[in-house]
A and B are shown apart, each in its own frame.
Chain A
Amino acid sequence: MWRLLPRARTSGDQVAMRGTAFSRTLITALGASFMLAHSFAQAQVLPRPPARERLALQLLHRYLTAGQFTPYEAVQVTQTFGPAALESRQIVKYAGPRRQRIEYLSPPALEGNILLIAGSRILNFIARPTPRIVEGGIPDAARDTARDELRTALRVGRVAARYIGTQLVAGREAGVVEVRSGDGSPFKRLWLDNETGVRLKYETVDASGNTLAMSYMTRISYRPSFNPADFAPASLPPVRALAPILSTRPLRSVAEAEQEVGYGVRTPILPPRYHLVSVWVVGGRNPRTVFLRYSDGVNSLILSQRPLRDRASARATPSQGKPLRSFRGVAFWSSSERSYTLFGNVRPALLHAIVASLR
């Protein structure tokens, strides 16, 4: 800087000016260092998410937006492990949210079955032994609620997402993301198509690293050959349809459900990370069934309860009810006056604690 100063001066002047310029340079350098240190300190206070987490969040965002609206046709394998291990192969036709058709190719017990999601209806055509259709309902706005819940949980850090790497699934490059809620609870691993955001593979893994269930595509086409009629309920074979399971819109609280059904609803004691997400009353006739859905941000537990109808007779000949039977992902039991079903992957100790807390 001082070299730029005018030369037509005396040597004494030059010395003085050099001294001034040096001070200025020093002050500027000190100022710059202070600003750098300050910005570094700021970065320490508000750290950016690590790169792996950022990648995971980007992929999850793509999955929750574009991935949900990309039509495809795929061949998929689904497996559950454990005592009641089962594997099935299906053709999946996906035309967007709430428009999906799953046609079972195997095992023999499921071959020919069709699961059709059409708007708010979910129809299960069961081919054997007697062809019939069982119908249920998708709770109103459940998809948006669950998606928003996940977004919020990721934002506030209740749920952690981590990018693991990439892998080929069904010939497509997929980013692998792990989504966890807390120590000791099962977590999910998702393989998401890097380009489209479509989920190509899915795993539920317990804390010890054992896979509890998985589904993965072996072939996928983003130029599907299906037509809109495939997603119409009328496309199912014309067989006897069991009375649809009617459900109310989500209720705000257990107390509201009690008013609706006219009996006391029992609530289980759960670890603090689980919170009650929604309450439904299902069934057209008395007694109606109450569903309580709990979530820890990643894992859902669905508890249903329904009083046994013939309570007077049950008292006359006291029954111990049905003992607890549980498989991976489902448990059911009944007391002398109420029948329960629990869906969700829980450790045996927690399951027994839930059963005990409902006695």
Chain B
Amino acid sequence: MTCAKAHRLVSAWLDQELSAEEMIDLENHLDACPSCSILASDLARIHRAARMPATAPIGDDFLIGVETRIAASRLRSRRCRWSAATLPRMGLVAAGVCAVAVLALTSNPRQRVSEFTEAEAETNLRMASMQSVGLAAGDPLEDVAIASLTAHVAAAAESEDVR
């Protein structure tokens, strides 16, 4: 990656708008290039400052909100205690279900292969859907909303929702 390209990408990097490949490329460049690294850290400081919330006086509404949330969290913690009592029982049930699943999978290899290939096909469909939406987003003669709806139809059909 050239310094010029790195300069172009730094802002998008701070906004988390880079793809994984671009991010890896840029970070590799920043590790190797001191001048770009300085620029990136300067921009990061500005970025952080811009996002820092402005200080404001605390009003009664805010305090009432905090008290309400504390009360709600107490209620939740009571529910958690109940959960702690039932956890061992649920653990036993889960272990049983897992054992049955393992037995079922190991006793019928044909079914396992079939499920495996289905999972692979689903992965392919998911990737194809996202890629199709991505390409539509970059094509003036395509419509991203239609591509997204088509992807949804495909996913629903794969899970037998659409007939």
Contact = CB atoms under 8 A, between A and B. Distances in A.
Given A309-B120, A319-B117, A341-B128, A122 B134 contact: yes
A314 B113 contact: yes
B44 interface: no
Interface stretch (A4-12, A13-21, A139-147, A253-261): A139-147
A310 B124 contact: no
Contacts of A300: 135, 139, 141-142
A248 to B, nearest CB: 7
Interface in A96-143: 98, 100, 102, 109-110, 115, 117-122, 124, 134-140, 142-143
B15 interface: yes
A316 B161 CA distance: 32
A339 B149 CA distance: 22
A140 B5 CA distance: 13
A302 B150 CA distance: 13
B114 A302 contact: no
A287 to B, nearest CB: 9
B153 A80 contact: yes
A179 B142 CA distance: 12
Given A283-B127, A332-B125, A334-B121, A249 B21 contact: yes
Contacts of A134: 126, 130
A122 B130 contact: yes
A343 B150 contact: yes
B99 interface: no
Interface residues of A, number: 86
Contacts of A100: 137, 144
Given A142-B134, A293-B135, A332-B154, A120 B19 contact: yes
B118 interface: yes
Nearest to A314: B113
| B: contact size bracket | 35 or more
A80 B15 contact: no
Q: Which of B18, B120, B134 gathers most chain A CB within 10 Å?
A: B134
Contacts of A280: 131
Contacts of B142: 300
B40 interface: no
A98 B146 contact: no
A68 B133 contact: no
B132 A302 contact: yes
B18 A142 contact: no
Contacts of A69: none
Contacts of B110: 317
Nearest to B111: A317
B69 interface: no
15 contacts: A98-B17, A115-B133, A119-B17, A119-B18, A136-B127, A213-B150, A245-B126, A280-B131, A289-B128, A300-B135, A308-B116, A310-B113, A317-B110, A327-B150, A343-B147
Interface of B: 12, 15-22, 109-110, 112-114, 116-118, 120-121, 123-135, 137-154, 156-158, 161-162
Interface of A: 63-64, 68, 76, 78, 80, 84, 86, 88, 90, 92, 98, 100, 102, 109-110, 115, 117-122, 124, 134-140, 142-143, 145-147, 150, 179, 188, 202, 204, 213-215, 232-234, 244-249, 280, 282-283, 289, 291, 293, 298, 300, 302, 304-306, 308-310, 313-314, 316-317, 319, 321-322, 325, 327-330, 332, 334, 339-341, 343
